[in-house]
Amino acid sequence: MLLITRRSKLLRIIAVICIILPLLYLLFVRHERKRLSNYQAAEYNQQWVKPFLSDGPGNYEPQDLKPRIGPGENGQKHILRSDQKNAAQDSESEFGMNIACSDEISLDRSIVDTRDPECKRWNYPTKLPSTSVIIVFHNEGWSVLLRTVHSVLNRSPEHSLTEVLLVDDFSDKPHLGKKLEDYIESLDSRVRLIRNKQREGLIRTRSRGAQEAKGEIIVFLDAHCEVNLNWLPPLLAPIMRDRRTMTVPIIDGIDHNNFEYRPVYTYGHYFRGIFEWGMLYKENELGYKELSKQEYPTEPYKSPTHAGGLFAIDRNYFLEIGAYDPGLLVWGGENFELSFKIWQCGGSIEWVPCSRVGHVYRGFMPYNFGKLAKKKKGPLITINYKRVIETWFDDKYKQYFYTREPLAQFLDMGDISEQLALKEKLQCKSFDWFMKEVAYDVFDKFPELPPNLHWGELRSAANDRCFDTSGNGPPALMSLHYCHGLGNNQLIRLNEKGQLGVGERCIEADNQGIKLAFCRLGTVDGPWDYDEINKTLYHRVYQKCIALHPQTGHLSLMPCDNNNTYQQWIFKQIRPNYR
C-alpha cells in the first residue's frame, strides 16, 4: 500500500516536471524571439536598408527642439561666482572635474549640434535593434553621471533603447548609494543599476555589463558623457549591415572646469585611432586612401584602433570574441586588445562622423587602482600593454615595444595561454597583416624602431647624479637629480640612429641647453653619438659635447674635451625590483 502511494506520488512529480519544463522552455523561446525580433528581421529577412541621404531631414532627426534658457544651456560654459571658488576647487580635487559647476546645470540641458549639416539628411533603417547603453562608474559625481543617463534617454529612439545599464564598480561615495537607487526608481523603468561586490576595474566591469545586458547591441559610455542629437541610429546601422563591425562616435570635449561642450577636432577634419610603440593612444588625420572610399564625407570610415570609452558592438559578437581579456586589470590597454582582436579575427572598426558624444576629459585621475594594483608588482598599465602585445603582436613588432619600454621585459604579465588559444580558435590573422592592410599609417608617424645601443640611467661622472625630466613636459630643460633607478623620468634610451629618448619624448639641444622635446614625427633619427671610451655624448650637427656646468648644474653643449669629467656620462641599465 505504502509502496503504491509513493510510486503514484513520484509519477505525479514526473508528470508535473514533464509539463512545466517544456512550458518554461516555450516561454523562454518566445521571450527570446521577441527580444531578437527587430534585429533579426532586419538582418535575416534582408530588410536591411542602406542609409541614404534625402533633401529634407532624415527619419530620426529631432523636430521642434524647444530653446532652453539656463546655466550651461546650448552647451555654453557656466562660470561660478567667486564665492563658490572653494566648492569648485574641492570638487575638482575629489572628482577631477568641477562638480559644483555641473550641479548648477540642468540634467536635461541642450547642447550645441557639432555635426556636419549633411548628417541631418541621412535616413537609417526604420527598425533598429534593441540596445543596451552600458555605463560603468567608480565614484563619479552625481550630476555628471545622471546627465549622461538623461542625455541618453532624451536623445535615443524610444523603440531601440532597451535599457541604460549602470554598473557600479564598488563606489564608496554616499551619493551613489540608496540615493542613487531611489532616483533611478523614479526616473524611467529602462534604467537599471547593478553593483560589483568588490572593485573590479573598468575593464572587467564592462565585460560584466555586457554579460548582464538585455539588448542585442551594447553601447559603452564613460560616466561623464553627453550624447549629441541623433547619436544612436548612425552607430547601429553599420552593425546591422555586418554584425562584426564595431562603431565609434566622434568624441567632443566637455570642459572639466566650466562644462562647455565643444568639438575637439577642427570642423571638416576627420581622424582615426592609431598608437605609438610604447602603446600610447594616438590619432592620425584621415588620408587619401580612406577618403577615396567614401561617397560622402559624413560616411563612417575604417579606423585601426579607438580611444576606449565609447563604442557600439553586437553583444553576442563581443561575447563570442571573449569580451575583454579578463587578465587585464583596472584601466588601460583594453582599447588596443579589443581593436587588434576585432581586426585580426575578421571584424572591423568604423568611426562614425554623424554620431557625436561629448566626454569630460579630466585634469587628472581622481581615483587609485585600489587593492588590485597592490597585488601586482610593477606598473599595472604597462603590464596590461605587455599582455596585449604578447598576445597580438608578431615577434618583429614586439621588439619595437620592448625597445620603447625596456623595463616591460621584467614585468610578470601572468598567463596568456587562454588568449593565445582564443586567437587560434578564431583563426586570427597576423599582426603584420593588420599593420599592412589596416594600420598602414602608423609608420608615417611612428616608423619601425631601431634597437637601443644603450638604455638606463644616464649618470654624470662628475657628480654622480642622473639625467632627469623632473616630470616636466616639453619644451623643458633637462636637469640632474639623485639617481633613483625607478625608470620613467630617468630612463634614457639611445638608439642605433642617434636618437636620445625618454618615454615618448626626445632629448635635443639648442643654445639654451639640453632640452626635453617632442620627437619629430616620422623619423627615428637623432643627432647623438655616444663615445664608449671617453664617455662623451656628441652632437653631430653642432659638433659639441654635453657638459655639466660645475657651479650652476646647467646642462649644455660645449666644445668637446675628453679629459673633462663634466663631459663624461655613464649609461647603466636599471633592474627594477618587480618580483
- For ligand UD2, the binding residues (CB under 6 A) are 136-138, 140, 169, 201-202, 205, 222-223, 251, 307-310, 330-332, 334-335, 359, 365, 367
Shortest separation between residue 224's beta carbon and Mn ion, angstroms: 6
Q: Which of residues 149-208 bind Mn ion (CB under 5 A)?
A: none
Residue closer to ligand UD2, measured from CB, 125 or 309? 309
Residue closer to ligand UD2, measured from CB, 152 or 516? 152
Residue closer to Mn ion, measured from CB, 168 or 222? 222
Contact 328, 382 (CB under 8 A): no
Virtual CA dihedral for 488, 490, 493, 494, nearest 10 degrees? 160
Shortest separation between residue 224's beta carbon and ligand UD2, angstroms: 6
Residue closer to ligand UD2, measured from CB, 264 or 462? 264
Pairing status of strand 452-460 against strand 569-572: antiparallel
Biggest CA–CA distance in the chain, Å, is 114
Query: What does 332 bind: ligand UD2, Mn ion, none (CB cut-off 5 to 8 Å by kind)?
Result: ligand UD2
Query: What does 136 bind: Mn ion, ligand UD2, none (CB cut-off 5 to 8 Å by kind)?
Result: ligand UD2
Query: What does 373 bind: ligand UD2, Mn ion, none (CB cut-off 5 to 8 Å by kind)?
Result: none
Shortest separation between residue 201's beta carbon and ligand UD2, angstroms: 4
Residue closer to ligand UD2, measured from CB, 283 or 394? 283
In this chain, which residue has its C-beta nearest to Mn ion?
222
Report the alpha-carbon distance of residue 468 to residue 400 in Å, rounded: 23
Q: What is the separation of C-alpha 545 from the centre of its chain, rounded to a whole number of angstroms?
A: 42
Shortest separation between residue 304's beta carbon and ligand UD2, angstroms: 15
Residue type, 454: H
Residue closer to ligand UD2, measured from CB, 335 or 382? 335
Q: Given the rule CB under 5 A, which of 220-228, 254-262, 277-285, 419-427 is the region that contacts Mn ion? A: 220-228
Cell of 187: 526616473
Candidates 148, 163, 167; CA nearest to 205 is 167
What percent of the chain is helix, strand and coil (3-state, nearest 5)?
A: 35, 25, 45
Residue closer to Mn ion, measured from CB, 180 or 202? 202
Residue closer to Mn ion, measured from CB, 257 or 348? 257
Report the alpha-carbon distance of residue 208 to residue 189 in Å, rounded: 21
Shortest separation between residue 202's beta carbon and Mn ion, angstroms: 9
Shortest separation between residue 414's beta carbon and Mn ion, angstroms: 26
Shortest separation between residue 362's beta carbon and Mn ion, angstroms: 7
Residue closer to Mn ion, measured from CB, 43 or 222? 222
Query: What does 307 bind: ligand UD2, Mn ion, none (CB cut-off 5 to 8 Å by kind)?
Result: ligand UD2
Task: Please count the residues of this chain forming the interface with Mn ion, following the rule CB under 5 A.
Answer: 1
Shortest separation between residue 202's beta carbon and ligand UD2, angstroms: 3
Query: What does 558 bind: Mn ion, ligand UD2, none (CB cut-off 5 to 8 Å by kind)?
Result: none
Cell of 486: 625607478
Report the alpha-carbon distance of residue 457 to residue 575 in Å, rounded: 10
Report the alpha-carbon distance of residue 462 to residue 460 in Å, rounded: 5
Residue closer to Mn ion, measured from CB, 335 or 403? 335
Q: Given the rule CB under 5 A, which of 45-53, 120-128, 221-229, 281-289 is the region that contacts Mn ion? A: 221-229
Shortest separation between residue 511's beta carbon and ligand UD2, angstroms: 38
Omega before residue 379 within 30° of 0, cis = no
Dihedrals phi, psi of 86, to nearest 5 degrees: -65, -45
Query: What does 140 bind: Mn ion, ligand UD2, none (CB cut-off 5 to 8 Å by kind)?
Result: ligand UD2
Q: SS3 of 555, please?
A: strand
Residue closer to Mn ion, measured from CB, 111 or 435? 111
Shortest separation between residue 222's beta carbon and ligand UD2, angstroms: 4
Residue closer to Mn ion, measured from CB, 259 or 455? 259
Report the alpha-carbon distance of residue 416 to residue 423 in Å, rounded: 11
Query: What does 109 bind: Mn ion, ligand UD2, none (CB cut-off 5 to 8 Å by kind)?
Result: none
The residues pairing with 513 across neighbouring beta strands, listed in sequence order, are 510
DSSP 8-state assignment for residue 210 = H
CA distances, 277 to each of 280, 334, 398, 443 (Å): 7, 16, 9, 10
Shortest separation between residue 528's beta carbon and Mn ion, angstroms: 38
Query: What does 137 bind: ligand UD2, Mn ion, none (CB cut-off 5 to 8 Å by kind)?
Result: ligand UD2
CA distances, 545 to each of 224, 277, 463 (Å): 50, 29, 17
Report the alpha-carbon distance of residue 483 to residue 466 in Å, rounded: 5
Contact 10, 2 (CB under 8 A): no
Residue closer to ligand UD2, measured from CB, 128 or 246? 246
Candidates 306, 231, 237, 310; CA nearest to 272 is 306
Long-range contacts of the stretch 502-510 (C-beta < 8 A, 24+): 502/467, 502/469, 503/278, 503/469, 504/276, 504/278, 504/280, 504/404, 505/469, 505/473, 505/474, 507/467, 507/478, 509/539, 509/542, 509/546, 509/556, 509/557
Cell of 222: 564613460
- Does position 222 interact with Mn ion (CB under 5 A)? The reply is yes
Q: Given the rule CB under 5 A, which of 222-230, 403-411, 506-514, 566-574 is the region that contacts Mn ion? A: 222-230
Shortest separation between residue 264's beta carbon and Mn ion, angstroms: 13
Residue with the three cell numbers 664617455: 535
Shortest separation between residue 99's beta carbon and ligand UD2, angstroms: 13
Q: Given the rule CB under 5 A, which of 216-224, 270-278, 322-330, 563-571 is the region that contacts Mn ion? A: 216-224
Query: What does 223 bind: Mn ion, ligand UD2, none (CB cut-off 5 to 8 Å by kind)?
Result: ligand UD2
> What are the residues binding Mn ion (CB under 5 A)?
222
